[in-house]
Structure 1
């Protein structure tokens, strides 16, 4: 095993221009952890928001930072008291740690067992890497809201990475799914099992035209839509947002995805059985991470951006 690894890093906040490809020491593998040889990672908007300093008030940072929280790869080493995995196991995971430092945009990354699950065999490396953050966010929001069969849910931004996963999970639960999106994304959203509703002015009226009695649940994955949520939610309905803390004062929940091996395993089962799919729209090599981030920042990607690691 080598003593160093290639990694994309940044040593100060900024735009994608601050990224550098460096050789770093291999991370230490602590108790309850595994060292994973990264086959693929995936880009999430939070990656470049963290890089710009957007979470500085929330999370400690240790420079140089290796960005990235999504990963799929092969276990290369196990730490003390880690009976769950063995060298050679194929895993995928959500690698958010307690502080910002050692991420997944590198040849190797260490992960606690609570961060990972066995990789679905039916998925490619890039597909598996594209699942964890978006899939866990969607799964945990709908679980927290208690969405159940026969209910109607409105998903704000149903064409996005998290929203598209949520639409499929909600459909799998037996709910009726309304999904806000642009006209250009309406067929994609329909293909996920949701009824597309054009976002923008008049959204509440369009939702109520489809569900005159209102909806039981609203899941907000975009922000800035609280008034629409309040207008369409039934009395006693439940709502949550990952993008607007203002929901707290309106009886809703403000949520942040948690690493959870059990939830990842549940997603893996759904993926293996074809009840959930992930769309990888574009793929970049590790060395072109800055370009991948700029592409993500454009807001025009329909699906996930994956990063391959040689």
Structure 2
């Protein structure tokens, strides 16, 4: 048995309660991890509340957590490339637990210079950023506008795009402008007059737009890109159809985790990867971490520190 956080009914953050769960021996192609950190994502909160139950149904009681970092504690039959004691990170199911079983092929080896919290904060944001840049097909020399560029996905998208030679303009609050400059982006303030500010920086239209904000920016995004073909949103499914804009949430055949984590590790090896951690909470305070995530007024990723 191992300690975990679970919810037995949909509801607010208070439904998250400590529990003991049984962790099986790893099967073929699997490893069992001792978890050191788990990322807290907005999707965790939406799954817990029941807001996305039609799209992401879960069996109750459910242990949340879509990404984690930890140490390999046992390996199943047929696992190659990983051994007991290896430090790894990647996408998981049930990350809010002291131990869990995960498919070995989903994991990447964690460099010693990457902290447990940073590693746990990477998989979801990196995969989303990589996938959407592929959908937008951005190339060196093009100009990409990223809404919410200082957020979890935006930060990785900026870094991946800049590494490809793309010119990036990012919307963010004034307090995050210097941070965006440090990533290689040209910052602009969101809100009224956005189109004029973007044109002033870009010198004209932009080639592609990634909306990670969901602040009703699809109309101006289509205007700036000269059409909806190269506009993608991950945050505004409701208004995407009206603007003929693609909404991307991943799904079968769309996962880009392997390439995304390889890309993030390449940036880390070069010394340029930046992963902002807003705050870490102990596993027992997962409900408080969810409340902070839903409040939304933080810069960087919220992470649970587990062991």
Residue pairs, 1:62-81, within 5 angstroms: 62-81=59-78
| Whole-angstrom CA distance in 2 between matches of 1:46 and 1:213 | 35
| Whole-angstrom CA distance in 1 between matches of 2:227 and 2:12 | 44
Partner of 1:225: 217
CA-based RMSD of the aligned residues comes to 1.8
* Correspondence 1:255 to 2:248: yes
Report the TM-score, using the length of structure 2 for normalisation. Answer: 0.92
Partner of 1:61: 58
Aligned residues, how many? 301
The correspondence for 2:232, drawn from 240, 251, 266, is 240
The 1:194/1:237 distance shift into structure 2, 3 A limit, reads farther
| Whole-angstrom CA distance in 2 between matches of 1:58 and 1:192 | 34
Structure 1 range deviating more: 251-260 or 171-180: 251-260
Partner of 1:301: 298
* Correspondence 1:133 to 2:142: no
| Whole-angstrom CA distance in 2 between matches of 1:274 and 1:234 | 36
| Whole-angstrom CA distance in 1 between matches of 2:246 and 2:133 | 11
* Correspondence 1:120 to 2:111: yes
Report the TM-score, using the length of structure 1 for normalisation. Answer: 0.91
CA contact (8 A) 1:218 1:238 kept: yes
| Whole-angstrom CA distance in 2 between matches of 1:203 and 1:140 | 26
* Correspondence 1:182 to 2:173: yes
| Whole-angstrom CA distance in 1 between matches of 2:33 and 2:233 | 32
| Whole-angstrom CA distance in 2 between matches of 1:243 and 1:235 | 19
Aligned-partner SS, 1:61: coil
| Whole-angstrom CA distance in 2 between matches of 1:225 and 1:165 | 20
1:219 Cα deviation after fit:
0.7
The correspondence for 2:80, drawn from 83, 104, 125, is 83
The 1:157/1:254 distance shift into structure 2, 3 A limit, reads same
CA contact (8 A) 2:126 2:260 kept: no
1:181 Cα deviation after fit:
1.1
Partner of 2:282: 285
CA contact (8 A) 1:40 1:307 kept: yes
| Whole-angstrom CA distance in 1 between matches of 2:126 and 2:258 | 12
Residue pairs, 1:10-29, within 5 angstroms: 10-29=7-26
Q: Deviations over 1:147-195 (max 9, x none)?
A: 1111100001011111111112111111111001112222222222111
1:244 Cα deviation after fit:
2.3
CA contact (8 A) 2:280 2:304 kept: yes
| Whole-angstrom CA distance in 1 between matches of 2:268 and 2:217 | 30
Partner of 2:96: 105
1:115 Cα deviation after fit:
2.3
| Whole-angstrom CA distance in 2 between matches of 1:236 and 1:18 | 40
CA contact (8 A) 2:222 2:228 kept: no
The 1:244/1:162 distance shift into structure 2, 3 A limit, reads same
Structure with more of its chain in strand, by fraction: 1
Partner of 1:49: 46
* Correspondence 1:35 to 2:32: yes
Give the unaligned 5+ runs of structure 1: 96-101
